[in-house]
Amino acid sequence: MDEPILNFLVTHVQAAFAWAPAWVGGLALMLLFAGLAFLLHGTVIRILERMIKPSASVPRRIINRSRGPLRLGLVILALAIVVEPAGLPDRVTGLVQHVLLVGSIILVGWVADTGVDTLAGHYMRRFRTDVEDNLVARKHVTQVRVLRRLIYIFIVVVTSATILMTFEPVRQYGVSLLASAGAAGLVVGLAARPVLANIIAGLQLAITQPIRLEDAVVVEGEWGWIEEITGTYVVIRIWDWRRLIVPLSYFMEKPFQNWTRESGNIIGSVFLYVDYTVPVERVRAELDTICRKSPLWDGKVVNLQVSDAREGTIELRALVSGRNSPVTWDLRCEVREKLIAFLQAEYPGCLPRQRIEVTALPGRTDEGGPRGGGAPSDLVGRQMADAPER
């Protein structure tokens, strides 16, 4: 602001409050300049919105995200201009200047965070995760989100540390604590170990990507999808809508299953237990027919094998593939239902059954009755069991 205009405003405000203590006029002058800063902010935003076309989504998004930092910057600038001419006591002037310094540091951190968030949002708009083949999109979105949170933590830590360094007692305490490097430093290091471990794990996860958003995983015996990845934990959406919260470092230290690591396609298995007389080739042909008619099958894998032979039944294993794990689950259920219906309708005698071999007791004929006629052996046995004791 030009010095003549500043002197004009200071003179007239002080003259208006000549009847009050000097600090009242200085406070009124600061409030006036803060109001002018708000007015200038609104005017600049409206001018920019009119200059930019409605179809220009990126510039409009930048303007919306920069409203807060721009308002704070103009207020800090206005108060910094007027704090000296306001005529406040030296102690109050020093306090206001210190507050403005802290506000400037916060403004720098806010601008940095807004810039990173804007760039990350613009980059992620190039990828769609709501399509069928979204492996590449999920890879990039996961990397950007994890790195975005790590950068946010870094900005917060640096900003907070810089603010604390503006206070002389805290700065001297921090220097003496670092110089001593004694037991207190060890305690702080041990206390911060889980946080640091998760931060490092987040950086490793963003680079190596053992998991991505919407990956199908099995963790701690629970099957679900990766719903959210934060700076310290991962949220897994279980198939029954429960949520499993797992520390970020878990995925760097313990084994887990990722069903969509390279692609969403997965092979599912269906087991049937049938009699030894079942025509395996006929069941295999029926399985092929079921898959070809099903919209859930991806056209890659369909096979039927005798995977086991037990005392009373044989085990048939059907392998089918689908586009992703939920689709494959539905396909498995469909194949199981239709194969059972096929066996019930076409080969009911091949369903599991128990075989009992009946042999004649010693001293009886091959027909099951005693020599010289009489009841069959099984009836005789029951009659003997039912006869009262004499």
Identify the CATH number of the domain in which residue 234 sits: 2.30.30.60
Q: Which of 240, 259, 278 represents a domain boundary (last residue)?
A: 259
The answer to whether 33 touches 73, Cβ cutoff 8 Å, is no
Q: pTM higher than 0.75, yes or no?
A: no
CA 253 vs. chain centroid, Å, equals: 18
Q: 114 and 25, same structural domain?
A: yes
Residue 234 lies in a domain: yes
Q: 335 and 277, same structural domain?
A: yes
Q: 40 and 78, same structural domain?
A: yes
Query: From CA 271, how far away is CA 304, in angstroms rounded?
Result: 10
pLDDT value at position 381?
40
Q: 230 and 195, same structural domain?
A: yes
Q: 271 and 250, same structural domain?
A: no
Residue 169 phi, psi (nearest 5):
-60, -40
Exposed, middle or buried by CB within 10 Å (0-12, 13-18, 19+), for 11?
A: exposed
Q: 103 and 118, same structural domain?
A: yes
14: Cβ contacts below 8 Å, ≥ 6 apart: 22, 25, 29, 87
Q: 251 and 165, same structural domain?
A: yes
Residue 279 to residues 48, 212, 286, 304, 358, Cα–Cα distance (Å): 77, 45, 11, 12, 27
116: Cβ contacts below 8 Å, ≥ 6 apart: 148, 151, 152, 155
pLDDT means per 10 residues in the chain (390 residues)?
Answer: 56 56 66 82 83 72 82 85 74 83 90 86 74 69 80 83 76 49 45 62 77 88 88 88 90 87 82 93 95 92 93 92 87 95 93 78 57 45 40
Q: Which of 237, 259, 281 represents a domain boundary (last residue)?
A: 259
Residue 357 lies in a domain: no
Residue 330 to residues 271, 302, 315, 327, 373, Cα–Cα distance (Å): 15, 15, 21, 5, 62
Q: 138 and 122, same structural domain?
A: no
Residue 199 lies in a domain: yes
Q: 96 and 21, same structural domain?
A: yes
Residue 378 lies in a domain: no
The radius of gyration of the chain from alpha carbons, rounded to an integer in Å, stands at: 39
The answer to whether 269 touches 318, Cβ cutoff 8 Å, is yes
Residue 380 lies in a domain: no
Domains in the chain, number: 3
DSSP codes joined into one string, 79-111: HHHHTTTTT--HHHHHHHHHHHHHHHHHHHHHH
Residue 366 lies in a domain: no
pLDDT value at position 179?
46
Query: From CA 286, how far away is CA 341, in angstroms rounded?
Result: 11
Q: 312 and 207, same structural domain?
A: no
Q: Which of 227, 259, 291 represents a domain boundary (last residue)?
A: 259
Q: Which domain holds residue 226?
A: 134-259
Query: From CA 96, how far away is CA 30, in angstroms rounded?
Result: 11
Q: 216 and 162, same structural domain?
A: yes
Residue 369 lies in a domain: no
Q: 204 and 85, same structural domain?
A: no
Provide the CATH number for the domain around residue 325. Answer: 3.30.70.100
pLDDT value at position 176?
46
Q: What is the largest CA-CA distance in the chain?
A: 142
Look up tokens 């001297």; give the residue.
172
Q: Which residue, among 308, 307, 301, has the nearest Cα to 287 in the 3D structure?
A: 301
Question: Given its phi and psi angles, is residue 269 left (phi above 0), alpha (psi -120 to 50 degrees) or beta?
Answer: beta
pLDDT value at position 230?
81
